Amino acid sequence: MAEPFSISFLPQVDQQTSIEALTELLDGVARQPIAHAPWADGTGLPKVDFAIAHNAEAILLKYFVQEKEIRAQYHKLNDPVYEDSCVEFFIAFNAEAAYYNLEFNCAGTARVQYGPGKHERVFIPDHLLERIRFHISIRNKSEAGICWELTLLLPKELFKFHPNLVLEQTPARVNFFKCGDRLPQPHFLCWSNIIADSPEFHLPAFFKDAIFKSRALTEENTNAVPLWTAITNKY
């Protein structure tokens, strides 16, 4: 059996950490490619990576996207942002059948639901979505297209149906996606590959096992160079 995907603990992040500082910290976390394209021929697709960590109180996530063009029509919480240039994170805690889908367009607009299947979902209320902190960076590169980055701080309170959630050492099942249903060239990419006849992300059978690393295991690694030191020493 494969080892679960390890989600690092970042002790440098607390309530006083700015979202700008967080985006730099996540630049130092190992990136994972969202490169599987089960419903495409492999041409003209975006290049997408993500980095993920946690600080026991929140999930810390950053997406790095390069695509030909972007769309950001939705600005209201829980709008259908998957029609825009969109990145997504699905997570089921422990061995539960129900899971959260967290979706964000390139303007940072969030859509979050919970349930056991695609057609049995409940929206997470706006007042909880408003607690998400995010940072967007968009730049236009003539040859590479448009590059955009989205940094997210997802507090534990967002996961409404898990009021006693403890992240450290908690097992989960996860998948990460990139889509754009109404872009001139629609695309559907996934981190953990999916086998299905048509584009469909709501298939938890294809989620991967993951584990949130504990603070203690991080502190035991005394030979590691502190990430914050590595960043501040660059200036």
pLDDT in tens, 19-55: 999 999 999 999 999 999 999 987 889 999 999 999 9
Rounded Cα distance between 202 and 185, Å, is 21
The more confident residue out of 141 and 181 is: 181
Pairing of strands 145-155, 58-67: antiparallel
Average pLDDT for 83-110: 98
Helix (H, G, I), strand (E, B) or coil at 82: helix
pLDDT at 78: 99
pLDDT at 229: 32
Is residue 234 pLDDT above 50, yes or no?
A: no
21 burial type by CB count under 10 A (0-12 exposed, 13-18 middle, 19+ buried)? middle
Residue in the block written with tokens 């975006």 = 46
Amino acid at 77: L
| 126, 176, 203, 208 alpha-carbon torsion, rounded to 10° | -120
Question: What average pLDDT score do residues 188-207 get?
Answer: 98
Pairing mode of beta strands 145-155, 133-141: antiparallel
AA identity, residue 16: Q
Compute the mean pLDDT over every residue in the chain, rounded to the nearest whole number.
92
Q: Which domains does the chain have, with CATH numbers?
A: 5-221 (2.60.40.1190)
By percentage, how much of the chain surpasses pLDDT 90?
85
Tell me: the pLDDT tens digits for 127-178?
A: 999 999 999 999 987 677 899 999 999 999 999 999 999 999 999 999 999 9
With a CB cutoff of 8 Å and minimum separation 6, the contacts of 169 are 211, 212, 213, 214
Which residues, at least 6 apart from 56, have a Cβ–Cβ distance to it below 8 Å? 9, 166, 167, 168, 215
